[in-house]
Structure 1
Amino acid sequence: MSTETLISIIIPACNEEKAVGSTVKQIRDLSLANSEIIVVDDGSSDGTAREAKSAGATVMSHPYNIGNGAAVKSGIRSAHGRVLILLDGDGQHDPKDILMLLPHIAEYHMVVGARSHESETHLHRNLANRIYNLFASFIAQFKIQDLTSGFRIIRRADALRFCDMFPNGFSYPTTSTLAFLRSGRTVKYVPIKTRFRQGKSKIRLLRDGVEFFLIIVKIAMSFSPLRVFIPISSFLFFLGIARYIQTYLTVGQFTNMSHLLINSSVIVFMLGLIAEQIASMRLEKGDKLHEPEEVEKYSVFSRRETAES
């Protein structure tokens, strides 16, 4: 039987001693063949690392808190598996859902666990996520069902391709989703039910909500800039035309403001074209640095007992 590591489960955690041990044990109970569990302790001040290690995980520790995205990047770079499974260590994800998501990675570049309406989530978070999903779907021209889900399966070669683009904070799921879609990679959403997290959330709705929206715009500028520039350019252009008509009908002449608005619309559009070319060149350059990797068809029955029989 081959001892090559096929699956790496990466769990970023910060002060999650109440949930991380149970999460690791539930994953081990799945008995996935040729797999490893990596818990990245992002500068916890409690016993997160101790609980994860005693449950059977390999533990990496940051000397201080850097961010959820930084923990994910550390896990990706140290993983040995050809397929990476990312999930949170706060107990909101059911590890059994791995068996539901895993078979799809043979056909898609990324598989995401999309939180269903029956999931145990706060109402204001649910509403915010819907707004983010709509805006991101417009940017990506693809129906995004759960932009911020931290439960996803990615091929290691693709993860390394985009790893350096991931921010250090909580917005790495957003970046990875838009980066995959912009580069022509396929994404599959599978409905899952989540539970209320154990412990106190580190995300603040108002502060992090505004920051997160700005991050989405920034990511859109990085991957699909025309989706941002064209609406702005169109608004300025039609506003200039309306101003032309209004001043001509009222005073019988054209004003400098009309010229300024239309000229500004042209400048914004040209800047969008330049930004689009830069984004395309960056994606093409990255694709040349990472060769594609074939992934075998994973079955829900690919467990240790089956492999050893």
Structure 2
Amino acid sequence: MNKLIERTVYIISDSTGITAETFSNSILSQFDSIRFNQIRIPFISCIEKAKQVVEEINNNAIQYQQTPIVFSTLVDPIIKNMIKNANGIFIDLFGTFVEYIEEKIGIKSSNSIGRSHTMNDTEKYRNRIDAINFSLSHDDGQFIDQLNKADVILIGVSRCGKTPTSLYLAMQYAIKAANFPLTPDDFERKSLPSTIIPFKPKLFGLTIQAERLSEIRNERRPNSQYSNFKQCQYEVLESEKIMNKEKIPILSTTNKSIEEISTTILQQIGLSKNLIN
């Protein structure tokens, strides 16, 4: 087995750096023979901070005898040029696209720092917070009031990915996502929990391969009946039978990222029209 090549990646931003990190992760995922050591440095908004970043990049290049990769969403031209002239492979995520659009439409951009994460639109921010609070209070079937206000109700066996998906939908898209476990009691009755039957049009099923489910549960409760492979296999099969009988859309989370799971849910149940713009 070949040893992975290692390379340092700097993610530099005058705001949080979240946009740059997300974009860079997508790009770097195409290089599976390299282990990237990512360093995110946010809020580089003055020359003094920029000098410190330049020094760190240059020292890294000397220490590891490799030119680090530098992803940037910097807007200020002076600060951006300082970072660009450091000993790094500089990739200007904003400038590459902003300059192209400026050229094509004949209008200059405003060059506003932190525009991608502004809180000027307080309604959008409040919607996210409301959705997060809703998802937290309706996690794992612990609070059944106001389920009528849910945009989607995720169902499936324990540890199949319901909670992280609910929170991701809330945080990224202001989707009010509740989640409800299917348990051995439901499997014996071979029916959905009575609490969620009135909201059947909002249900979306998550499933998972039994082998993977057993691995995940073993991390939580090693060598227990809960994590036993046969128990996991039974629960997965019975939950899928119920969901298929009720004609509830199902998605396997086994080999999918939370981003893929969430996007598929939004598309399949037609929630894309509600996304925050």
Q: Normalising by structure 1, what TM-score?
A: 0.27
Q: Normalising by structure 2, what TM-score?
A: 0.30
Whose relative contact order is higher, 1 or 2, with alpha carbons under 8 Å and at least 6 apart?
Answer: 1
